[in-house]
Amino acid sequence: MIASLAFGVLAVVLLASALAVVLTRNLFHSVLYLALSLTATAGVFLSLDAEFLAAIQLLLYAGGVVTIVVFAIVVTERLVGDRISQTSRQLGAGFGIAGALLVAILAIFRRSPLPIPRPAVSGDLTRAIGQSLLTTYVLPFELLGVLFLAALVGALYFARPDD
């Protein structure tokens, strides 16, 4: 009962803030609503008993990504005044495509329901993730480090001062 109530509240907050992200005119407000929706997603992860995912969601997304986007807005737009307001175009076509996709997905859900019962939590999920990350998935894990190095060097190269 409490679980479904919490899920309902999280879902409403998540969808409302996501709609605000794509509809609000002020780009800075859009980023703040994105932070709210990312935090709500962390709550959804918590409702799935995935505490580790919720933690890295808050650390990397709500902490890192939002900060980077705010920096990019400060560099490319002015934080006050007309420049930060953004317009949308072809709202009808975009709504049509997104709505058609949603209807199609929901129709698939109705045709083939997935009556999978929720299994009880078996052991510590965080421990299981850690063990799996350093045994089965150790190669992708190391490649992730290479990717981060490349992204770091690439971002520094792109954003270097003019010479």
What is the closest distance, in whole angstroms, from the C-beta atom of residue 146 to another protein in the complex?
11
Interface map 101-120 toward another protein (x if CB under 8 A): xx--xx--x---xx-x-xx-
134 binds another protein (CB under 8 A): no
Could you tell me if 40 and 14 are in contact, meaning their C-beta atoms sit under 8 angstroms apart? Answer: yes
80 binds another protein (CB under 8 A): no
93 binds another protein (CB under 8 A): yes
- The DSSP symbol for 65 reads I
Could you tell me if 49 and 65 are in contact, meaning their C-beta atoms sit under 8 angstroms apart? Answer: no
Name which of 4 and 82 has its Cβ closer to another protein: 4
16-35 binders of another protein (CB under 8 A): 18-19, 21-22, 27, 30-31, 34
51-70 binders of another protein (CB under 8 A): 52-53, 56-57, 60-61, 64-65, 68-69
**Distance separating alpha carbons of residues 150 and 104, to the nearest angstrom:** 38
Residues 6+ apart with CB under 8 A from 121: 49
90 binds another protein (CB under 8 A): yes
Total of chain residues touching another protein, rule CB under 8 A? 80
79 binds another protein (CB under 8 A): no
**Distance separating alpha carbons of residues 32 and 51, to the nearest angstrom:** 23
Q: Rounded to the nearest 5°, which phi and psi values hold at 105?
A: -65, -45
- The DSSP symbol for 50 reads -
Could you tell me if 23 and 63 are in contact, meaning their C-beta atoms sit under 8 angstroms apart? Answer: no
List 80, 81, 89, 163, residue binding another protein (CB under 8 A) = 89
List 2, 9, 49, 139, residue binding another protein (CB under 8 A) = 49
**Distance separating alpha carbons of residues 63 and 37, to the nearest angstrom:** 13
What is the closest distance, in whole angstroms, from the C-beta atom of residue 59 to another protein in the complex?
9
